[in-house]
Structure 1
Amino acid sequence: MKTMDWNRAQAFLATAEAGSLSAAARQLGLTQPTLSRQVAALEAELDATLFERVGKKLVLTETGMGLLEHARAMGEAANALTLAASGHTQAIEGRVSISASDAYAAYILPDIAERIREEAPQITLVIISRNSLSDLRRREADIAIRHVRPDEDGLVGKLVRESTANFYASQSWLSRNERPKSMADIAQYLIGFEDTERFAQFMRGIGIPATEDGFRLVSENSVVVWEMVKRGLGISAMMREIAERTTGIVELFPETEAAKVPVWLVTHRELRTSRRIRVVYDILAEELTRLT
C-alpha cells in the first residue's frame, strides 16, 4: 500500500484552511514556491485536481473537499504525537511559547519574563501577542493567558485572578477638559476599538451613548490605544493592574463598580508533564496571582 507524504498532505491542509498559497506558506514557514510544489506533487500523486483558482483565492474542488477531513485527521494525529513527545521532555531547556493579549504581552509579561530568565536561563521564551485565542491543540502556543474559561477538549485551565477594568484618562487630558461626571459623558472622547460597530454596541450596553461613526481615533491594538490615552488624546478602558503601573493616569469613576475580567492560565493536558513548560506555567501562575 502506498503511503502518503505527510509534508504534501500538510501543504494541502494549510492551503485549504488559509485560502491562499502565500498565507499557507507563512503559516508553515515555507516559501510559496516550495509549498506550491508540494501541493502540485500531491495532485500528481493522487492524479486529481484539488484546487481551482477563483479570483485571487484557491477554492477546493469536489475531490479536494472529500479529502479535507482526512487531511485534518492526519494533522490532529501529528499534533497529538508532537504533544505527547513534548510532554515527556524532562530537560529544563528549549522553547516555551506564551500567548497573551497585546496589553498583557506589553505591560505585564516583561516583568515575569525577567524572573523566568533568572530561574530557568536555558529556556527560550516566545511571547505571542494576539487578541484572538491561540489554538493550543495545534501548538500555536504552549501556554495561553486568556480572559475566557477554556472549553476545548484536552485543555486545562486555572483561574489565577479576577481582574477589573475601568475608564481612564491622563492628567494632561483632564487639565484641558472638564472631568466627566458620569460614563454617559465620555462617548465623544472615547478612543475606539475595531470593529467599531461591535465596540459601540458594547459601550451602549453599559450606558455610554457611543455610535459607530462617532470615534475619531480607532485601533485594533490595545497597546496603541493605551499609548494614545497616555498622551492625552482621549479616554479608554483598561485593566487596573496595567493602569496602576502607568504614571500620569487617572481613574475617572472610582466609585463605580468596575467590570470584572477573569484571567485564566491555560495549557494542553499533555504539556503539564513537561518540566520546562511546568516551570514556566508555575511562575506565571504565581506572578499573575500576586498582581495588585
Structure 2
Amino acid sequence: MNWQQISFDWNQVRAFLVTAEEGSLSAAARALGLTQPTLSRQVMALEEQLGVTLFERVGKTLRLTQSGKDLLDHVREMGEAARKFSLVASGQSQSISGTVSVTASDTMAYENLPAFLLQLRSEAPLIDIEVIADNEISDLLRREADIAIRHVRPEEPDLIARLVGEITGSFYASHNYLTVHGRPQRIEDLSQHHFVGFGDRDRMVQYLLAMGLPISKEQFHVTSKSGIVAWKMVCEGIGISMMSDQVALSYPEVERLSLPIEPLRIPIWLTTHRELHTSRKIRLVFDKLANYLTSLSP
C-alpha cells in the first residue's frame, strides 16, 4: 500500500503513533490526556480508512501487525515534523530558556551526555541542564528529575516512556590482565578468572548464572556501586566485567573477550512526567535527547 497517497486525520495518526510507542491503549490515553474509548475509536477509524488491521491483542498488550509496522516508519516522520512545527509555532529553540534536570547512570552521564550537551548548547543556548549522575532510579513523580534515561521500562502509570534505542554490551578485560591470566576461549574458562563487580555483587552473580556462566561470588574481589569506578578497575587490569560496546571502543587498553556468547542487548528508555505536554523546555530537551540516544544504537 502506498501510504503517501492517503489523506490522514492527524488526531487518528497521533493516536496510532502514541499507542505504538506506549504499548497499550490505556497508557496512550494517559499520555494524550484522552479517555481510552476516545483513543480506541480514533485508532479504529484509522484502520477503517486504511482497510488494514494495525494492532493485534496478545494477552493484555497490543502488538503491531506487519501493516502497522510499515505505517509506523512513515508516521514517526510525521510526528517529528509535527514536533518541529510545534517548536516553531511556540518560539524558536534559541528563545526557550530555563533549567531541565536529567538523570542517568554515572557511566552514561560521563561517557555520553557531554557530547549531547555540547550539541544542545549550540541549538538552545538559554537552556541550563542539571545532570544527576546516579545509578539509583530517581523518582520523577516526586520531581527528583525532569527526564530520566533508564535501561528498564518504568512501571509507574503516570510517566511517559519512549523506547529510543538499544545498545549492545560484551565482556571486556585489559590487555595487561589477559597477558597475565590468559584469554578465556570457552565459557568454562571463566570460572578461573577474576571479575570486577558493579552494584550488588550477589545480584550480579545471579544475573551471570542466569546467562549460563560458571561464576561464583568468590571471583569478585573488587566491587563498586559506581560504574565509572568499576570500569576504571577493569582498565587497570584488576579483572573482567561487562561494558557497552560503544563505550569500550574509546578505551584502547581493553579488548573484548572472544567467547561463544551472544552480545548483551540493553534497551534505552527515555522517561518524563506529564509536564512534557505543557513545558516547552522539557519538550525541547526530551525530543533532542531522544534523537541523540537513537543515534547510539548500532
Q: What CA deviation, in whole Å up to 9, does each residue of 1:180-204 have, x standing for no partner?
A: 0123323431112332222222222
Contact 1:154–1:268 (CA<8 Å) still a contact in 2? yes
Q: Does residue 112 in structure 1 map to residue 135 in structure 2?
A: no
The residue number in structure 2 matching 1:194 is: 199
Code of the residue aligned with 2:203 in structure 1: it is R
**Compared with structure 1, are the counterparts of its residues 272 and 175 closer, same or farther at alpha carbon in structure 2 (3 Å cutoff)?**
farther
List aligned pairs for 1:1-292, cutoff 5 A: 92-187=96-191, 188-253=193-258, 256-291=261-296, 292=298
**Compared with structure 1, are the counterparts of its residues 210 and 230 closer, same or farther at alpha carbon in structure 2 (3 Å cutoff)?**
same
Return the alpha-carbon distance in structure 1 between the equivalents of residues 250 and 123 of structure 2.
Answer: 24
Name which one, 1 or 2, has greater alpha-carbon Rg: 1
Code of the residue aligned with 1:175 in structure 2: it is T
**Compared with structure 1, are the counterparts of its residues 212 and 94 closer, same or farther at alpha carbon in structure 2 (3 Å cutoff)?**
same
Code of the residue aligned with 1:246 in structure 2: it is Y
TM-score of the superposition, structure 2-length normalised?
0.64
Return the alpha-carbon distance in structure 1 between the equivalents of residues 148 and 277 of structure 2.
Answer: 13
Q: 1:131 Cα shift?
A: 1.5
Contact 2:163–2:270 (CA<8 Å) still a contact in 1? yes
**Compared with structure 1, are the counterparts of its residues 213 and 176 closer, same or farther at alpha carbon in structure 2 (3 Å cutoff)?**
closer
Q: What CA deviation, in whole Å up to 9, does each residue of 1:49-102 have, x standing for no partner?
A: xxxxxxxxxxxxxxxxxxxxxxxxxxxxxxxxxxxxxxxx98611110001111
Contact 2:185–2:259 (CA<8 Å) still a contact in 1? no
Return the alpha-carbon distance in structure 2 between the equivalents of residues 175 and 272 of structure 1.
Answer: 54
**Compared with structure 1, are the counterparts of its residues 189 and 213 closer, same or farther at alpha carbon in structure 2 (3 Å cutoff)?**
closer
Large movers: runs of 4+ above 4 Å: none
Q: 1:280 Cα shift?
A: 1.1
Identity level (%): 43
Q: 1:111 Cα shift?
A: 0.8
Q: What CA deviation, in whole Å up to 9, does each residue of 1:89-148 have, x standing for no partner?
A: 986111100011111111111111111112112111111111121111111110000011
Contact 1:185–1:208 (CA<8 Å) still a contact in 2? no
Return the alpha-carbon distance in structure 1 between the equivalents of residues 277 and 186 of structure 2.
Answer: 46
Code of the residue aligned with 1:252 in structure 2: it is L
**Compared with structure 1, are the counterparts of its residues 254 and 287 closer, same or farther at alpha carbon in structure 2 (3 Å cutoff)?**
farther
Q: 1:159 Cα shift?
A: 0.7
Code of the residue aligned with 2:182 in structure 1: it is E
Return the alpha-carbon distance in structure 2 between the equivalents of residues 289 and 95 of structure 1.
Answer: 23
TM-score of the superposition, structure 1-length normalised?
0.65
Give unmatched runs, 5+ long, in structure 2. 1-89
Return the alpha-carbon distance in structure 1 between the equivalents of residues 175 and 153 of structure 2.
Answer: 36
Return the alpha-carbon distance in structure 1 between the equivalents of residues 277 and 133 of structure 2.
Answer: 22
Aligned length: 204
Return the alpha-carbon distance in structure 2 between the equivalents of residues 145 and 289 of structure 1.
Answer: 12
Contact 1:98–1:125 (CA<8 Å) still a contact in 2? yes
Give unmatched runs, 5+ long, in structure 1. 1-88
Code of the residue aligned with 2:125 in structure 1: it is P
The residue number in structure 2 matching 1:7 is: none
